[in-house]
Amino acid sequence: MKFIHTADLHLGKIIFSRSMLDEQRHFLSDFLCPLIQEERPDAVIIAGDIFDRSIAPPEAIRLFDGFISFMSESGIPLLAITGNHDGKDRITLGAELLKKSGIYIATDISDAFAPVELNRGGERARFYMIPHFEPARAREYFKNEEIRGFSDSYGILTQKIYEELDSECINIVVGHCFVSGCSVSDSESPIYIGASGEISGSLFGGFDLVLLGHLHAAQRAGDNGFYSGSPIKYSFSEERHKKGEGIERRFVQTTPLREMRTISGKFDDLLESARLCPSEDLIHIHLTDKKPIFMPLQRLREFYPNILEMSTELFAPASEAITAPSRRSFGRPTELFREFCAQVCGFEADDEAVDIFEDILKEANV
């Protein structure tokens, strides 16, 4: 059997006030759908975080609706679970009808005990779909008040599944969780990472294959688990990640609509480079100048329209005790005056102009 595993689409996501819908539409329409048509897998798996927030914007809903229609027309089963970002009560709308078209969406802990079975070429595979759930829901479902965290919750859940496991099948679990020892990035929800939210990969040791979502870097998780990673970069901490889809443990790298990258250097050098080679990539600008620059973002955005973030080395380290940080960071008033004349007024201040400026400073007692 052959499967396409993806996760963390985060449809409707906004980063630095910029909607990522164009990138997401490009991924689904120009990469994933053609890949599915070319590979004709036995199933497509989405391991959670279909949407970026529980009340998804209409454009994101329409985008996923179009993908569901494509999957239904293709005749290839779609197996999806909800993640911590999804509004599970809204996604369940029409879930029973969708099953008739081969669209299976798991939203509650109870769905983990109703595996989806596929039969292809004499092989049988059972998918145990475990959507994101809180320990409180596990206490309620298992009627066990001693469950205290995610580790306890998944321990009891997997043990219950193992009691019913069919050893004659290929047993696959689809989950949305944080397996300990794996790498995180800035775009994951901090409330769901850290020791309190981690579970051991050994809890999934009884399955043949573990397909996971939640962490945005493609990586292994234990002996038999894999994170597909998010198909799109959602933070600059991911700019070196390879984004793609896993097919029979083969990694297929995506071609993003716009790359995400950091550009570092002095402002004048960056501006000259931007004039020579403008770009619509998603960019983080890091300025190394030790002097203030007039309106750097506005001037660079003429050539880099999709600058999302800027950092600078102008300010002193936070650990350093400075009584007047603005004076220390920006330089002496006379230096600021010279920079203002050069950058804003377009001329170099001569000695006479500087003398007049210093006389005004003395009168103002600055």
**Residue 108 pLDDT more than 90?**
yes
Domain boundaries, the chain: 3-253, 260-363
Task: Check if the beta carbon of residue 144 is closer than 8 Å to that of residue 156.
Answer: yes
3-class state of residue 231 by DSSP: coil
- Which segment of 97-101, 144-148, 207-211, 314-318 scores lowest on mean pLDDT? 314-318
- Over residues 19-37, the mean pLDDT reads 93
Using the structure block, give the residue that is written with the tokens 């001569």: 350
Structure confidence at residue 316 (pLDDT): 47
CA gap 10, 137 in Å, rounded: 23
Per-residue confidence (pLDDT) for residue 294, from 0 to 100: 83
Position 157 scores a pLDDT of 96
Q: Which stretch of 6-15, 268-277, 286-295 has the lowest confidence by average pLDDT?
A: 286-295
Q: Who wins on pLDDT, 81 or 191?
A: 81
The 10 Å Cβ neighbour count of residue 242 is 11
- Average pLDDT score over residue span 89-93: 81
Chain length of the chain: 366
| Amino acid sitting at position 280 | E
**Residue 88: is its pLDDT beyond 90?**
no
| pLDDT value of residue 327 | 35
Cα–Cα distance between 42 and 126 in angstroms, integer?
12
pLDDT above 90 coverage of the chain, percent: 42
Dihedral sign computed on CA atoms, order 130, 134, 135, 140: negative
Confidence bin at 194 (pLDDT 50/70/90) = very low
Give the gyration radius of the chain's Cα atoms: 26
pLDDT at 240 (0 to 100): 57
d(CA 107, CA 89): 8
How far is 195 from 212, CA to CA, in rounded Å?
18
Which CATH number does the domain 3-253 belong to among 3.40.50.620, 3.60.21.10, 3.40.50.150, 1.10.10.10?
3.60.21.10
How many helices and strands, by DSSP H and E, does the chain display?
12, 19
Give the pLDDT of residue 329.
43
Q: What is the pLDDT of residues 280-295, one digit of tens each?
A: 888 888 888 888 888 8
d(CA 106, CA 98): 12
Tens of pLDDT, residue by residue over 222-246, are 888 999 888 887 755 555 555 554 4
Split at pLDDT 50, 70, 90, the class of 348 is confident
Q: DSSP state, 235?
A: S
At residue 289, the pLDDT reads 86
Q: Which two tokens stand for residue 209?
A: 């294959």
- Sign of the torsion formed by the C-alpha atoms of 258, 259, 260 and 265: negative
- 336: which 2 tokens? 């600021």
The mean pLDDT value of the chain amounts to 84
If you write DSSP's letter for every residue of 289-327 in order, what string do you get? -SS--SSHHHHHTTT-TTEEEEEES-SPPTTS--SSHHH
Strands 260-265 and 250-253: unpaired
Neighbour order of strands in the sheet with 307-312: 260-265, 282-287, 307-312
What residues form DSSP beta bridges with 107?
none
Of 91, 185, 72, which is closest to residue 131 (Cα–Cα)? 91
Name the more confident of 250 and 4: 4
- In this predicted structure, the answer to whether residue 132 has a pLDDT above a threshold of 90 is yes
pLDDT (tens digit, 9 = 90+) per residue, 155-184?
A: 999 999 999 899 889 999 999 999 988 887
The confidence score (pLDDT) of residue 115 equals 95
User: In this model, does residue 343 exceed pLDDT 80?
Assistant: no
Q: Is the pLDDT of residue 206 over 80?
A: yes
